[in-house]
Amino acid sequence: MSQLDSIETSTNPYAKQFLVFFMSLAILILLSLYLQAFESILIPLTYILPLSLAYGIVLGIMIYRKAIDPLPITPFVLGFLFMAGGAALDGIATLVNSPTLDREGNPISRVLLDSGHSVSFVIAYGILAQVLWVILICILWAAFLKHKNAYLALVKEKNARSGWDFIKAALGGAHLSWRQFLLPLKIKEFPTSYYWFWMFPVLFVGISLHRWYLGFVWMGMINFSSFGVALISSVLAFVAYLVWLLQVYSKEIGA
């Protein structure tokens, strides 16, 4: 087994655990927020959310340690400042403009407040959750940067015949038909976790734009659809990721 194959094989179980656990958690939270039948599990989910983030941090560290390349400091620091800065701005602006949280719109915070939890508890919970979230995203971003060269080298080994085939391979679908990739009907038709996983650190960094928006809203500098900003930031991050992959492919065939 080559060194690259060893990296993929050893990292894949942790990537799979991360994807399965957090996608399941996200689905449960959304169901409990918007469907009355699942409403009873929302408070327990809220309580275990910090523990879930801590679990994600452990998985992120394990993934980070599987890489062999050094961490590129400049892109890591830029990503860290963007993510942490947005979270700090939103958090500070919230406490300055709504110290009693009466104007707080975060659905998790609202659930805790509306269920009788004290403001001090919700503030402490929010600080803990936000710190854990920033740590998690930073570790995932660092892991992406450390794995990037190995990841791209593995994708190039798939010998894609077009840019779109290269993207499919980069998202873990090199062994799948387009039908299987776009509409998996069996477990074996899902993309390989190691490749699919790397899209999420990029998305998480991009979604941090929404935190800057929320902070600016509290400061009265801008005011338009929060959902629209969240959606646009997610789409922009995903498109940027695809464009980056296409540029890599173009350089590969032009080499």
* pLDDT value at residue 151: 97
The domain of 23 spans 3-254
- Say yes or no to pLDDT of 227 above 80: no
* pLDDT value at residue 255: 56
One-letter amino acid at 159 equals: N
* pLDDT value at residue 226: 73
Interval 105-146: pLDDT, tens = 788 888 898 888 899 999 999 999 999 999 999 999 999 999
Interval 160-219: pLDDT, tens = 899 999 999 999 999 999 999 999 888 888 999 999 999 999 999 999 998 999 888 888
Comparing CA positions, the residue from 150, 119, 140 lying closest to residue 208 is 140
Interval 30-55: pLDDT, tens = 888 888 778 888 899 999 999 999 99
The number of domains in the chain is 1
Q: Using CA atoms, how far apart are residues 191 and 253, in angstroms rounded to an integer?
A: 24
Say what the alpha-carbon torsion angle 50, 12, 167, 186 is, to the nearest 10 degrees: -90
Does residue 222 or residue 4 have the better pLDDT? 4
